[in-house]
Amino acid sequence: MSAKPTLKPLAQQSIVVTGATSGVGLATARRAARAGAKVFLIARGEKDLRALCEELQAQGARVAWAVADVADHASLKAAAEKCQRLFGGFDTWVNNAGVGLFGAIRETSLEDQRRLFETNYWGVVNGSVVAAEHLRERPSGGAIVNVGSILSDLPLPVQGVYAASKHAVKGFTNALRIELLREKAPVTVSLVKPGAIDTPYSRHARNLTGQAVHNPQPVYATHVVADTILYCATHPIREITVGGTGRAIASFYAALPEIAEPLLARFAPSLMRDRRSAYQPFDDGLYDPTDDGLDEEVHYPMVRNFSALAEVRKHPGVTAGSLALIVIGAAAAVYLSQRSGPTRYQRIKTRIDPRGWVDTGALRHRFEDAVDAFRHGAEDFGGRASEFSRDARDRAYDAVDDVRDRADGWFRSARKDARKAAKKHGKTARHYADEAVDYARDHQREGGALLAVATLAAVIGAAVLESRRPDSHVRRIARFR
């Protein structure tokens, strides 16, 4: 089977839309019916399905519906079989059904998180599998259009669980596309990533913040996304974003996440807070379908009805041609202005040329003069420094010689004085020595006699003392006699 599908015009198609009773799904169903397509509606609320079917049939459209929860694969497959019985099959399947949740991840119960993934992720998986099984058997093939979100590229606080589910949708869509290409199935798989849209999303989403919330500006009308979805039904587009601001922020986040994440953490929650409205816990549609009528838009104060980024993606040839014409026109204007002599363009060019702002020749001469002056100054300073060093050296040598001369003179004077003192005192000492010798000679004899007398007196005294002792030798000698 050929890998290239034949996508029919909308008026010849049968289109299945899930989540068809609110927001983008409702706008898609109405515009598809207006374009002449046969529309098969799928949603959880039977009352709203009946009302929408009657509304579109009253306008002459061929419409049918089936109540099904996209999280239930069996009921979704039964709805596809019903569409095949009534319309002979379908050419485009739009996976649009989804639920929302506002709240921090750690404050959201695991049951609520699983339920959100059951609808947002597994609903897309179930619908895509059912659609792929049907479309690959059709000779002309067909298209699967999955509605994701710009939050698949730009996670935000407070909507972390929702962003994670849309990130999973993006990964699944890209993987499914590659597998179908490998199998050469005639099926195109497109991913539409809207930014902030004017839908009842904030009223139908479970709100755990305790405050009124809304989508931050800029907000786009639902028909802008619906027109993009229907364009993908007739053109093989891989991925398309609705809303240039969201795309710009996502690109900034991808390029500089270290800077973007602190900014998102600081400002995103406050931007989503609705300060004009009081917190009203509506009956959310997380587990049960809402019953508040067919609401396509909620009418934000300012809504954009055109997305330049989406139009550029839809019409790349026209965009490239327009850019080429602009470039050619600018080149022609420059060329013609240059051929007509001095023109405003040349004057502007001369004015903005930095080389004309300064006289480079004079600046060069000034610079050379400054260099020469610096060189001469350096040479003069070097000469003065040499002179000063020589002068200081000579003065140092003179000072050393002077100190040396003074020291020699002092030593010579001290030695001379020492000799004089020694000579003088030597004579005196010799005189005293002679007198002492003479005195000793004169008294030598008298000293000898005195020494003899003293010796004799000492002997007599010792004998007397000895005789007084009982065992004295002196007494023994006396007795012996």
Q: Cα–Cα distance between 133 and 144 in angstroms, integer?
A: 11
Size of the chain, expressed as the number of residues it contains = 481
Reference 93, options 41, 53, 171; nearest CA is 41
Active-site hit among 162, 201, 220, 300: 162
Residues pairing with 66 in the sheet: 42
Q: Cα–Cα distance between 49 and 59 in angstroms, integer?
A: 16
Q: What letter does residue 7 receive in the DSSP assignment?
A: P
Phi, psi (5° rounding) for residue 9?
A: -65, 155
Measured at the alpha carbon of residue 23, what is the angle toward residues 56 and 65, in degrees to the nearest 5? 40
Sign of the alpha-carbon dihedral angle for 454, 456, 458, 461: negative
Q: What letter does residue 108 receive in the DSSP assignment?
A: S
Q: Cα–Cα distance between 54 and 280 in angstroms, integer?
A: 31
Residue 279 annotated in active site = no
Sign of the alpha-carbon dihedral angle for 170, 173, 179, 184: negative
AA identity, residue 287: Y
Which helix (H) or strand (E) segment is 64 a member of? Answer: strand 63-67
Residues pairing with 17 in the sheet: 41, 94
AA identity, residue 180: L
Report helix, strand or coil for 109.
Answer: coil
Q: Cα–Cα distance between 278 and 292 in angstroms, integer?
A: 19
Phi, psi (5° rounding) for residue 101?
A: -155, 125
Interacting residues of 81 by C-beta distance below 8 A, sequence separation 6+:
none
From residue 340, how far is each of 244, 334, 344, 351 by CA, in Å? 42, 10, 10, 19
Reference 144, options 72, 97, 180, 95; nearest CA is 95
From residue 1, how far is each of 82, 171, 234, 265 by CA, in Å? 26, 26, 20, 50
Token pair listed for 7? 């996508």
Which of the residues are catalytic?
162
